[in-house]
Amino acid sequence: MLCREHYRLTLRVRGWSDAAPGQFVQISRASAMRGDGAIVEPVAGMPLLPRAFSVGGLRVAGDGHEIDVIYRVVGVATGWMQSLAPGEHATVLGPLGTPFPIDPAKSTALLVIGGVGLPPLLYLAQALQHASVRTVALLGAQRSDLVPLSMIAEASPASDAACAVRCAHEFAALDVPMVISTDDGSLGYKGTVVAALQALTRAQPVTADETVVYTCGPERMMRATAAWCHDAGITCWVCMERPMACGLGTCQSCIVTVRSDAYPSGRRYALCCSEGPVFAAEDVLWDERCA
Ligand SMILES: Cc1cc2nc3c(=O)[nH]c(=O)nc-3n(C[C@H](O)[C@H](O)[C@H](O)COP(=O)(O)OP(=O)(O)OC[C@H]3O[C@@H](n4cnc5c(N)ncnc54)[C@H](O)[C@@H]3O)c2cc1C
Ligand code: FES
């Protein structure tokens, strides 16, 4: 358990290729097996469709890989994941989707995270460190008990956003300083993560040439981050979320509206699962309800 509603699940998989940050897996229990290999009948009320989860970390382990999934319990599938005991089996399909691009010309990366948008950006922080990109993480949550990180007691986060500090084990282990914000001020900066981004970059200006922003979280937050990046001329990559049935580009259930010169309307529908979930923020036409 990472905080009141967030949990980490480690999956051991065999025969997997590598997975890059931004990619995801589809997890289901429809064909869950017991430890002895017997198929467990789907339980009444359990969804037949798998659920998508970002790869939050990946390690080689024995003759396979270990994948970290960080999730918030919101419904029946995540409730089942919370109940899994070590050694139980699940069906895992992946890696799926397109990863975050890493541009070697950008020497600074800002990760703007809203709550359970953490997993793909935590994994990305690892890749950015390997690529020697200076990285700062900003994570916003409603309250301190919804921050899905292990805090370092002796380095509590600054109450203003002017200075990023190594305050959470997960990012400190990657040598990534961070700013934490909460809506009610119960931890770190009081305000939204986008307000924290503005305060940090006012105190420590960044240049558009050298900087890239990656964001994942609630759509309203990503839209505000994209608007700030647009005004600052900074490249921004967003990790979109849509309910997904197949995850493979077949069912057409996961559309994201994007700009397109190929159509008279100037827009087209992209599939979040196969063209995304990572999109250039400049291409996304946001749902007006997210203003
Ligand atoms: C590419 C991708 C990566 C994801 N990564 C993660 C992750 O790392 N960790 C994590 O916790 N979740 C992640 N999600 C979200 C997760 O797949 C959904 O929350 C999933 O529906 C949970 O299943 P459930 O059966 O527990 O809840 P459900 O019963 O499916 O849903 C519970 C509630 O959430 C709403 N809901 C479900 N899915 C969505 C959605 N996509 N957008 C808006 N509302 C929705 C439902 O309407 C319902 O009110 C990701 C989704 C995508 C598409
Ligand atoms: S989830 Fe089926 S096409 Fe995207």
DSSP string, 219-234: HHHHHHHHHHHHHHT-
Query: Which CATH number among 2.60.40.1180, 3.90.190.20, 3.40.50.720, 2.40.30.10 corresponds to the domain 6-96?
Result: 2.40.30.10
Sorted by sequence, the CB contacts under 8 Å of residue 10 that are 6+ apart come out as 66, 67, 68, 69
For domain 108-237, give the CATH number: 3.40.50.80
CA distance 116 to 6: 8
Q: Which residues line ligand 2 (CB under 6 A)?
A: 244-247, 249-254, 271, 273
- Predicted structure pTM score: 0.92
Could you tell me where the DSSP H helices lie in the chain? 76-83, 118-130, 169-172, 193-203, 219-232
**Residue 78 Cβ < 6 Å to ligand 1:** yes
Ranges of CATH 2.40.30.10 domains, the chain: 6-96
What does the pLDDT profile of the chain (291 residues) look like in tens digits? 777 778 899 999 888 778 999 999 999 875 545 555 555 555 555 666 889 999 999 999 888 899 999 999 999 889 888 888 888 888 899 999 999 999 999 999 999 999 889 999 999 999 999 999 999 999 999 999 999 898 886 556 677 777 888 889 999 999 999 999 999 999 999 999 999 999 999 999 999 999 999 999 999 999 999 999 999 999 999 999 999 999 999 999 999 999 999 999 999 999 999 999 999 999 999 976 656
CA of 106 to the centre of ligand 1 (A): 32
Answer for the pair 105, 2: CB distance below 8 angstroms, yes or no: no
Ranges of CATH 3.40.50.80 domains, the chain: 108-237
Answer for the pair 279, 235: CB distance below 8 angstroms, yes or no: no
